[in-house]
Structure 1
Amino acid sequence: MKRYLYLVAFGAWVCSHVHGHASTPKDTAKVEKKANFGPLFKNDDVIKLRIVTNIKALQKDRGASPSNHWAELYYARKKKGDLKIPIKLKVRGNFRKAAKNCIFPPLLLDLPQKKDKNSIFERQNRLKLVTHCQSEEYIFNEYLVYRMYNLITNYSFRARIAQVTYEDSAGLQKPVISYAFLLEDEDDMAKRNKAKDYTIKQIPMPRIDSLQMATVAVFEYMIGNTDWSVPYLHNIKLLAPKGGKYPIPVPYDFDHSGIVEAKYAQPAEQLELASVRERLYRGLTYPPALLQQVFARFKAAKPEIYALYQNNPHLKPGYVKRTLRYLDDFYSIIDNPKDVKRLLIYGGGKPQAAGVVIKGLN
């Protein structure tokens, strides 16, 4: 796999002005009562979907400007039978869109404005569908990363696992059944957090909300992910909070993280890492008090984070064991001031690599 990186060195790491505010998962409950975001992401039960479309035409449409494809979405209801919703599908993504990388591309679901009020898709208009790429295991592995970050902060995308049957409307291919997960719409995530979209690029990390930026950087370190960039908005969404002065970062696309264990994931050569399982902190140098505030969030969420893996029946025992050990290593680091100083402040001996800005992949 060839990866194209556009690199820029940071001029300085030290953030001289600390700014930010906290948002914990409990805060969202107040907002949810006032604003109805629909039932889709209110629980984590696996939902069963059926998508009928021209599969061959959809899979071939992986160019720079994919077209919309008409489709029918069927949602299996327990009592009233399947609910049919006419939708439009579009191939999306970057790395996973390429046929050489993924068997089935990720999709964007465009739902009609008017839908059955009793539908699970009530108030949902656009949804990303993260489909099976090379292995169905990666779906659950990446889905749980989103769930982990939900436990850390409300400034995160919600996700829901689905078992999807893909049927070819042309009748040329046999139905394919695979797991996938639906991802919360960007606008809905912003509204849920009383914020708006912030699309200006080339915003350096020192100008981002310090508490939330540190939270993102520590989380990316926790999961072994270096495939992100704030200035280039690569796998990072920025929000403009209501009444807030500084943008808030929200990470997404975690398939290249070490914790997911995707075989295709490779670190950039410039980062000098042996594999994506090797962690590298790529955030700013924050004051110890701020880092301790961030660490406290992760420590408080630790039991629930471990439970995500221990209680998931879809994960292989070997993967659960390796993942819990990987998380143990992270927690032992943030519990040790010397390790924090060595790995998160001094970059583990690779400060130049840690300061590399990655624009993105082709």
Structure 2
Amino acid sequence: MNKQALILFLISFLLSSVATFSQDLENTPNNTEVTSLFLNDEPLDIKLSYSNKILRKETNDSTYIDSEMSYLPEDGSWQTLAVKIRARGGYRRENCYFPPVKMKIKKSLSKETLFEGNKKLKLVLPCVLQKDYNDMVLKEFLAYKLYEIVSPYHYNTRLLNIDFTDEKGDKLKNYKIKGFFIEDIDNVSDRCGAKQIKRSIHPLEQDDVCSVRNDFFQYMIGNTDYSAAYRHNEKLLYLDEQIIPVPYDFDMSGLVDASYAVVSQIQGESLGIDKVTQRLYRGFKRNDEICQDVRTEFLKNRDEMLALIASMESSFEDPDEFERAEKFIKEFFYLLANDALYEKNILNVARAN
């Protein structure tokens, strides 16, 4: 091989190697599998002990306190894990007896445990101490599970049976409560192979189908406490050159119908309803065909959604709370299947801007 031929061969080899390397990167899946914590649908038993008062007063977005969490995996042997916790949320942090919790777990400590792959978690707890507080948690958990059926871009959740001890100085007060874990948005974006968007983007600039799915879902659960435009109770993902909304925090919805719930007034906007159980469509005007496609999706998912609700009946402490939740969702599907009601309550009230 002469010198010129050798040079051409080397150039060709290098170019092909770069191309192959680039192709390998493109073909490497970005999404990760669901972590072990969220693979099981059975409620997880955990134990927590800390001071609600200290958590509320001495923690903030960057300040955590040290604590421990014990949990009971499938093998039946209690395990203990060191964690850091802080109070989170707006309204619930200030007004609930049990402030919701943000939890951090060191990667080195979670390795080869049920919590491996979850560096951060949200913990949803009951709000006020009343007879139906556990059922309120169940209904919000149910909202997350319903959205799993609707969209592949969702938070994974795990229902919890919590043995919680509130440390009040020398006094200890124990509670047996329901709760659930919500995976961190970092896990959601990694699983979907997406990037997070941390700036405001108008819903009309977001993916049409995903945005309409989100709006139909929020209407289904009777929630106005969200804004994809202002990222209020919404995260945004960037995937395949599209912006995708991912909703969370549904305690102000009509489905949950918590005693403290009020109709949201985001950016001071006054809505024409005064009860959270009154539905109001907050989506923007889109192509009718897109809305019809999403409408068809929801109607096709009706039986699966109602079966999911029915499967949780035995978990409710008050049968009336379960019946109200089931009835509320059935009313949505009745409206959605009726052409006149669909046009009147969704298509004709969609926002122009």
Q: Counterpart of 1:145? A: 143
Q: Which runs of 5+ in 1 are unaligned?
A: 1-30, 357-362
Q: Per-residue deviation at 1:55?
A: 4.3
Q: Does the 8 Å CA contact 1:107/1:128 hold for their aligned counterparts?
A: yes
- Mapped to 1, the partners of 2:148 and 2:74 lie a distance apart of 28
1:182-221 aligned at under 5 Å gives the runs: 182-201=181-200, 203-221=201-219
Q: Counterpart of 1:344? A: 346
Q: Per-residue deviation at 1:321?
A: 2.3
Structure 2 vs 1, CA of residues 229 and 283 (structure 1 numbering), >3 Å: closer, same or farther?
same
Aligned residues: 314
- Mapped to 2, the partners of 1:80 and 1:328 lie a distance apart of 39
Residues 5-43 of structure 1 deviation map (CA, whole Å, 9 limit, x = unaligned): xxxxxxxxxxxxxxxxxxxxxxxxxx79x7344211112
Q: Counterpart of 1:266? A: 262
Q: Does 1:224 align with 2:219?
A: no
Secondary structure of 1:253's counterpart equals coil
Q: Based on CA coordinates, which of the two structures has the bigger radius of gyration? A: 2
Amino acid aligned to 2:276: V
- Mapped to 2, the partners of 1:122 and 1:254 lie a distance apart of 27
- Mapped to 1, the partners of 2:122 and 2:162 lie a distance apart of 14
Q: Per-residue deviation at 1:322?
A: 2.2
- Mapped to 2, the partners of 1:61 and 1:224 lie a distance apart of 35
Amino acid aligned to 2:37: L
- Mapped to 2, the partners of 1:128 and 1:43 lie a distance apart of 17
- Mapped to 1, the partners of 2:162 and 2:325 lie a distance apart of 26
- Mapped to 1, the partners of 2:322 and 2:334 lie a distance apart of 18
Q: Per-residue deviation at 1:177?
A: 2.4
2:50 paired residue among 42, 48, 53: 53
Q: Does the 8 Å CA contact 1:163/1:178 hold for their aligned counterparts?
A: yes
Amino acid aligned to 1:109: M
1:252 paired residue among 240, 248, 253: 248
Q: Per-residue deviation at 1:214?
A: 0.4
- Mapped to 2, the partners of 1:80 and 1:337 lie a distance apart of 52
Q: Counterpart of 1:284? A: 284
Q: Per-residue deviation at 1:288?
A: 2.2
- Mapped to 1, the partners of 2:50 and 2:202 lie a distance apart of 43
Structure 2 vs 1, CA of residues 56 and 268 (structure 1 numbering), >3 Å: closer, same or farther?
closer
- More displaced 10-residue stretch of structure 1: 72-81 or 256-265: 72-81
- Mapped to 2, the partners of 1:331 and 1:79 lie a distance apart of 41
Amino acid aligned to 2:301: A
Q: Per-residue deviation at 1:246?
A: 2.3
Q: Per-residue deviation at 1:117?
A: 4.3
Structure 2 vs 1, CA of residues 116 and 237 (structure 1 numbering), >3 Å: closer, same or farther?
closer
1:128 paired residue among 111, 122, 128: 122
Residues 257-295 of structure 1 deviation map (CA, whole Å, 9 limit, x = unaligned): 101110111114710203111111110112221112111
Secondary structure of 1:346's counterpart equals helix
Q: Counterpart of 1:23? A: none
Greater helix content: 2
1:144-163 aligned at under 5 Å gives the runs: 144-163=142-161
Q: Does the 8 Å CA contact 1:93/1:106 hold for their aligned counterparts?
A: yes
Q: How high is the sequence identity, in percent, across the aligned residues?
A: 28
Amino acid aligned to 1:264: Y
Q: Does the 8 Å CA contact 1:37/1:123 hold for their aligned counterparts?
A: no
Q: Does the 8 Å CA contact 1:66/1:92 hold for their aligned counterparts?
A: no
- Mapped to 2, the partners of 1:288 and 1:35 lie a distance apart of 35
Amino acid aligned to 2:118: Q
Q: Counterpart of 1:19? A: none
Q: Per-residue deviation at 1:116?
A: 5.2
Q: Counterpart of 1:22? A: none
Q: Per-residue deviation at 1:253?
A: 0.5
Q: Does the 8 Å CA contact 1:53/1:69 hold for their aligned counterparts?
A: no
- Mapped to 2, the partners of 1:84 and 1:52 lie a distance apart of 12
Q: Which runs of 5+ in 2 are unaligned?
A: 1-28
Q: Per-residue deviation at 1:211?
A: 0.4
Q: Does 1:86 align with 2:97?
A: no
Residues 184-242 of structure 1 deviation map (CA, whole Å, 9 limit, x = unaligned): 110101111110111112x111100000000001111111101111221001110011x
Output the TM-score relative to the length of structure 2. 0.83
Q: Does the 8 Å CA contact 1:214/1:294 hold for their aligned counterparts?
A: yes
Task: Indicate the RMSD between aligned Cα atoms, in angstroms.
Answer: 2.2
Q: Per-residue deviation at 1:54?
A: 4.2
Q: Counterpart of 1:72? A: 68
